[in-house]
Structures are given as C-alpha cells and as structure tokens.
Amino acid sequence: MEHSPTIAIIGGTIWGNRGAESMLTTTIGMIRRTYPNAHFTLFSYYPEKDRQLVQDERVTILSSKPISLVTKHVFGAIFGVVLRSINVKLPRGAFFQIARALSESDVLLEIGGITFSDGREKFLPFNIFTIWPAMLLGVPVVKMAQAVGPFIKPVNRFFAKKFLWHCKFIFARGEKTELYLKNLKYPRNKTVTTADVAFLYEPKFSLSTENEEIVDILVGKLKNIRKGGKSVVIFSPSVLVEKRANQIGLDYIGELLDAMTELDAEAHHFVVIPNATRAGSEKTHNNDLLTIKTMKKRTAEGLIQLPAVDWVDYDMNTASIRRIIQQADILVTSRYHAMISGLCLNIPTLVIGWSHKYMETMAYFGLVEYALDFNQDDICIASAIMDMFSKKQDIKTKMKNSLPVVRRMSQKQFDYLTQVLK
C-alpha cells in the first residue's frame, strides 16, 4: 500500500506575499511527485483568505496568526506534552485542533524566507513560536531553503542556539547563510547549501485562481505590442524597499519613475506589477499594491511625465505573475522572488535591493553587476536597463546555462525529504 505522509507547513501563505506562495505551492507540488496522496496542513497567517482561495481537499488550512501561535500552538503543545506524560490523548475540542494536527504530522516544514537574523529581533517570537510547538510534540522540523543569521547580537545568538539546534535539518539558502551557521558551530551533518525552492516552481503547482481573465487580456496586449516592434520593460516594485528608502530619505518611487521617463517612449512599453498582493487592504505588510497605487497617483498628478503604462493593481498568483513576466524584454524588480521568476524564465533581470541575498543569487548566473544597492548615491536605473539591452543575448545565454545547476541545488531539498518521509 502506498505511503501517504502528513506534512505540516508553516511560514508561508497563498494570499499576500507571492514569493511565499511560490515556495509553498512548489513544496507541495514537488512532494506530490513522490507521494501523490500526501496530506498537507498549512498554518497560514491569512487563514480565512487562504481557505477561500484553496479548494484542494488534501490541503487543510489552519491559523498561524500571532494570537493562535501564542495560544493554540504553544499552549496547545504544552498541554499535549503534559497529557502525553499521563498517557492521555489530546481532547477533540477546537482549542486543541492545531496541536492535534501538529502531533499527527510526519514533519513540519518551515518555509520562512529569513529567520533568526540580527537586526530582526522583533520577529524572534514569531521565529520561535513557528517551530517550538512541533519540537515540544516530538515532530521533526526541517527548515526549507532560507536565510538565517548573522548571529552576532547576543539575544539573537542565544535563541538561535536554543532552537536551531533542535531542527532536524536546515537548508542554507546561499553561502552567506552557510557561513553564519558554521560560525554558530551548527552541526555540519544537519545542513547543506541550496537554492531557493521557487527555482523548481511550475504553473501546475498553483493552488488558486485569481483574476485570470484580466491577466489573459494583458498578456494578449503585450504580445501584440512586442509583435509591433516595441520592447516591454516590466517593473516589480517592493513596498518594503519603499519603506526602507523613505526612512533614509531616498525617493525610491521617484527613481523608478525617472527611469521610465528617461527611456525612449517610442521604443518601450512599461508594465508595473506586484509580487505581494492584498487587494482591498490598506496595510502595507505584504502589499506592493500600495506602492503601485502611489506610483500611479504621482503619474496622474503630472509629477512625472510618462507614456502609456499598464498598472497591475489587483490580486494575482505566481502563475499569473510569471505569465506576465514572460512577455518582458527586461525585468526590473526589488522583490527576491520576482527576481527568481525572471531568472527562471530567461528574462534579463535587474534587481534593486539592500540584502546580500540578491547579489548571492545573481552571482549564480554570472550577473552580479545587475544587482544594485538602492543605498548607492550613483545608481542609475535607466543606464543599467540600456546596458542590459545592449548585452541582452549574452545575458540570456548566461542565464540559460546556469539555471540547470541552480535547479539541481534546489532539488537537494526534495531528495532529502523523500528519504525522511519513507
């Protein structure tokens, strides 16, 4: 009889951050290749919205909102340990539903993009509570490809040592994370360097359908524009980078709009798309739609003179995002997983960010010069785009030759899980 494991996943959602969605759906899709009847329990911090979007009967969605993490996850697990010590099973009540689901799982996969990192101490409770309940219940915890560290600051170092040591395995996303774990003296037999899960993404892994008819129209329009001889330049801004830039007095939105203005409007068509969407919400977390709204407003007010631009200001999943990016001649983004989409689709990609993770990944493709730090005073986006146009074929060749190697790095995670889930 075929083995049908139960896998719990935490740290990602369908709605909101579509980078997390791409990691989540890829993880499920790849595991299903080996275990087609596997059942998945997703702990989501947007549980209500995700339940509306996901109709897959083998995916159960429970809450990982902060209040649930503190109560039903942590205290539920503690009660579970106490009851187990006196040989009593967890009650069937709603309060213990999450603890029961965890205890019945073969493994907990944690897919947070970055955890236990200096400078992000405010997220430490979340980093801890997402994995501690499973550890209490004796469920193996595997951290899928992600950044952890550095661990210089005492508080972060203390809790990293306390909890990371109890992980069954950590897939280090890139050499920097590998080095941080080495400096922490994390056991070498419990980690390996890998590439992001999303490098293995396929559209058929998608678990939601969102505004596909509108995307169809846009994709058709872009195909006709390219047939007419115009190049398509797609911008995928980040609300997180906008906030960071504002804090240090930089006009991130202005830089993007200036780049559009400086390019030849007769030769280029522009599209602005999100990679994190929460349509209808004014909350900035995981919501690039607000940055796009501001860009569009500044254009409409005449503060920046622009030719026609297509503004994508609605929810869409990774499958649709990649369909649109596929029509680009050049992709300009500040989102890590939008960058991965461009690299996977062989679209010359310019990334504007602040973290080593962009440069590290672009280096795999020999394109580190196209990873710009938005803190730099001499950054010129338009010049970088024109440089990419002039070297387009060489860039595409580098990407095409590098992608299989990067995908093999990512595949290590699922080779490992196949063994763990036997």
pLDDT tens-digit readout, 205-246: 999 999 999 999 999 999 999 999 999 999 999 999 999 888
Q: What is the pLDDT of residue 405?
A: 97
What secondary structure, in 3-state letters, does the chain show? CCCCCEEEEECCCCCEEHHHHHHHHHHHHHHHHHCCCCEEEEEECCHHHHHHHCCCCCEEEEECCHHHHHHHHHHHHHHHHHHHHCCCCCCCCHHHHHHHHHHCCCEEEECCCEECCCCCHHHHHHHHHCCHHHHHCCCCEEEEEEEECCCCCHHHHHHHHHHHCCCCEEEEECHHHHHHHHHCCCCHHHEEEECCHHHHCCHHHCCCCCCHHHHHHHHHHHHHHHHCCCEEEEEECCHHHHHHHHHCCCCHHHHHHHHHHHCCCCCEEEEECCCEECCCCCCCCCCCHHHHHHHHHHHHCCCCCCCCEEECCCCCCHHHHHHHHCCCCEEEECCHHHHHHHHHCCCCEEEEECCHHHHHHHHHCCCHHHEEECCCCCCCHHHHHHHHHHCHHHHHHHHHHHHHHHHHHHHHHHHHHHHHCC
Q: What is the pLDDT of residue 2?
A: 64
* Domains (range + CATH), the chain: 6-203+407-420 (3.40.50.11720), 210-390 (3.40.50.2000)
**Residues of the chain under the 50 pLDDT cut:** 1
Q: What is the pLDDT of residue 10?
A: 98
pTM of the model: 0.95
Q: What is the pLDDT of residue 1?
A: 46
Q: What is the pLDDT of residue 377?
A: 66
